[in-house]
Amino acid sequence: STQIQLVRRPIGWPTAADFRTVTVELAPLAAGEVRVRNEFVSVDPYMRGRMNDARSYVAPYVLGETIQGGAVGRVIESAVESVPVGAAVLHQHGWSDVVQAEAATFRVVPEIPGVSLSLRLHMLGMTGLTAYAGLTAIAGLKPGETVFVSGAAGAVGTAVGQIARLLGAGRVVGSAGTAEKVALLTEKYGFDAAFNYRDGDVSGQLATAAPGGIDVFFDNVGGEQLGAALDAFNDGGRAALCGAISTYNSSEPVPGPSNLSNIVTRGLKLEGFTIGNYLGLAPEFQSLMTEWMGSGKITFDETIVDGIEHTVEAFLEMLRGANTGKMLVRVGE
């Protein structure tokens, strides 16, 4: 079995020297095991993250071990009846040509006539599910809304554009990094408009592509395009932050929050609000806070500046942080 292993953690862009290829003599099949010849092995952006020794939603790759990840293949030897020779299987054993392991680590997938097994690694697999979940459970796409997808010509992106349409999106726009991809989006994938983010002025291009603004942003890229989407959002817009690939290989902190990918890996939701939209909570808040104060459960600080003539000064001091607790101007007589 030929396997690819990580031997050094890349800094910035990975290089060949970060990996090694090994040939392993497989032991005779043990009870409970199957041997699979892979047909397709997946390479995914999230793998870059696993090459770092950092907290994420999946554990870092172990140096000197074969890179784990999605793959599909066919059973060539089996000690388990339910996973017979010839069966098509999906698994996570990753970057190798032949893999041998416990049968339970392989999932037998039904074969669909005329459909390549490889689809299990994208449209019919996690990739498609990612697109669907992002649009429905996370972004709550509603019929008629305008959707913007970054990384639109990639695996997830092409699923997003089409699923959005099927779910009734009114307008679907996407971005990609070459003129060919941009053409494909409108000509093959049914996008209403698309642009090349490498042409610059991403905000301007997005405004042209979505003149009525956007309601849902499915973000695969982060960085500048996330900024542009934040510009283009209509009120009440939702972003399904799926990935931030523009940052994955930067060895330097990127402008803005360098850890926006935590939104993905920690399943965070960042939702803006203005208190004017939540005034209905005032009565219950008032009664609770009054009770807490009365029973000594709340403490506070005030920093007081005397004299109305010192108000601007107090304001600026507050912006510089001179206050603890509430900055107040005491007017006096």
User: Where along the sequence are the contacts to ligand NDP (CB under 6 A)?
Assistant: 44-46, 127, 130, 151, 153-157, 176-178, 181, 220-221, 242-243, 245-246, 264
Q: What is the closest distance, in whole angstroms, from the C-beta atom of residue 47 to ligand NDP in the complex?
A: 9
CB nearer to ligand NDP: pick between 19 and 46: 46
Q: Closest separation between CB of residue 81 and ligand NDP, Å?
A: 34
Residue 239 CB, shortest distance to ligand NDP, in Å, is 12
**E-assigned strands of 9-59?**
19-23, 33-41
Q: At its nearest, how many Å lie between ligand NDP and the CB of residue 51?
A: 13
Three-state SS for 92? Answer: coil
Q: Residue 196: name the closest of 178, 211, 218, 221 by CA.
A: 178
Beta carbons of 213 and 234 less than 8 angstroms apart = yes
Amino acid at 297: K
Q: Are 42 and 121 a contacting pair, CB within 8 Å?
A: yes
Residue (14 or 177) nearer to ligand NDP, CB: 177
Least distance CB 221 / ligand NDP (angstroms): 4
* Closer CB to ligand NDP, 159 or 327, in the complex: 159
Q: What Å distances lie between residue 227 and 70, 262, 296, CA to CA?
A: 32, 17, 44
Task: Please give the Cα distance from 133 to 77 (Å, whole number).
Answer: 36
For 79, residues 6+ apart whose C-beta sits below 8 A from its C-beta are: 29, 30, 31, 32, 33, 34, 103
Shortest spacing between CB 240 and ligand NDP, in angstroms: 9
**Which residues touch 269 (CB under 8 Å, ≥6 apart)?**
138, 263
